A and B are shown apart, each in its own frame.
Chain A
Amino acid sequence: QSALTQPPSASGSPGQSVTISCTGTSSDVGDYNYVSWYQQHPGKAPKLMIYEVTKRPSGVPDRFSGSKSGNTASLTVSGLQAEDEADYYCTSYAGSNHVVFGGGTKVTVL
């Protein structure tokens, strides 16, 4: 299984929105609604932000939302805040009891 494709970086000013894409194939993103997104601050463990494409765990602000179209999933962060500056990783179930990660996107709040 190949890694999912994410842009290396994205940025936005406070209060603006930023959208991160995650492109896979018809064997992973396109075939399963099991796309998740993780936020990771430097030196910290990842944190689950979105799962099953659109679901938010308890405690995650509703500024974070997910979607999917075909083989591409997206994470949108609305109303950007300074604390949203972090690395973001997507994952997708890829069948045969495997999961693939994206390469990560560094979000900068300008």
Chain B
Amino acid sequence: QVQLVESGGGVVQPGRSLRLSCVASGFTFSTYGMHWVRQAPGKGLEWVAGIWYDGSNKYYADSVKGRFTISRDNSKKTLSLQMNSVRAEDTAVYYCARDLAGIFVFDIWGQGTTVTVSS
């Protein structure tokens, strides 16, 4: 079935780096845009970054621009988020999500991976 599985979360110190991954299955990964969306503890959802189906264009929320990098490997059906210079406010559950039709509609979500930034 159509599925997204995130991994890579954990506890990281402020200022350090972490890399999240999301493996897709059950659909043609290379034909869909993909996104990362996060949710801080007890808070609402926040879009983080998005990438075109072929990786040619990438977009970031102002809160992470210059620190996070989204990428994808279509041969491995994998979406990644490289998180550098992390801050306490980056603590959240990070979800990867499929874009229905390139219009920022998230029709398939993973189960999420938790990132905690703490010293």
Residues of A within 8 A of B (CB): 1, 3, 34, 36, 38, 40, 45-48, 51-52, 57, 89, 91, 93, 97-104
Contacts and interface: CB of A to CB of B under 8 A. Distances in A.
Interface of B: 37, 44-47, 50, 57, 59, 61-62, 95, 100, 103-107, 109-112
Contact of A34 (B59, B62, B104, B112): B104
A38 B106 CA distance: 9
Contacts of A57: 107
Contact of A46 (B57, B61, B103, B106): B106
A5 B45 CA distance: 13
B26 to A, nearest CB: 15
Given A45-B112, A51-B100, A91-B106, 10 more contacts: A34-B103, A38-B45, A38-B106, A46-B37, A46-B106, A51-B105, A57-B107, A97-B57, A98-B59, A100-B47
Contacts, number: 59
A61 B26 CA distance: 24
B47 A98 contact: yes
B109 A46 contact: yes
**A-B pairs with the 8 shortest C-beta distances?**
A45-B109, A99-B104, A97-B59, A104-B44, A51-B105, A101-B45, A99-B47, A48-B107
Listed residue (B44, B47, B50, B111) with the most chain A CB atoms within 10 angstroms of its CB: B44
A46 B95 contact: yes
14 contacts: A1-B62, A38-B45, A40-B45, A46-B106, A51-B103, A51-B107, A57-B107, A89-B44, A89-B45, A93-B103, A97-B50, A101-B45, A101-B46, A104-B44
